[in-house]
Amino acid sequence: MAADGPPWTVGQNCSVTLRHPSVNANVATGFYVKPDSLRVVLPKVWYRGTNVAAVVPVTPIAAGKRIVELVVVCRSGLIHADGTPSQLTAQQWHSALLAFAAQVNSTITLVDPAGTTWPVGVEEMEDRLSPLGGQFLLEWETRLVLVEV
């Protein structure tokens, strides 16, 4: 029976995990990705912004480096792969995600749904709040743009 982590296991109680030494004592934290929102691109040219300037020192970024885009869903009552509901609230999911988004100019470890590990930096974050009928039905969809380091 899957439960909220730790341990977070991709495919069981989350879609992706993020890990950083300054967040959650360097223990991976799991998140659910909105279906069909994960995209990995190998751009011809990508000019980095200031959020990753310390970990990606040159612009445009080096050839072969990928950009990972995804939308993380922060919602109460998320259902794990085995059908058990998550006990985390939308606010708890969202607060955990914001802790990673705040890690400007540092490397975060991402494990994607295929189990691939990516060293990435947070380039951009876009937060969308959906008040689905009041304060008790809040939900966030957070778009992240991550640059491979």
Runs of H (alpha helix) within the chain? 90-101
- Residue extents of the structural domains in the chain: 16-148
**Does residue 1 surpass a pLDDT of 60?**
no
What's the start-to-end Cα distance of the chain, in Å?
35
The pair phi, psi for residue 26, each rounded to 5°, is 65, 25
Inter-CA distances, 119 with 39, 45, 88, 147, Å = 16, 19, 27, 8
pTM (predicted TM-score): 0.90
Q: What pLDDT is recorded for position 16?
A: 97
Q: How confident is the model at residue 95 (pLDDT cuts 50, 70, 90)?
A: very high
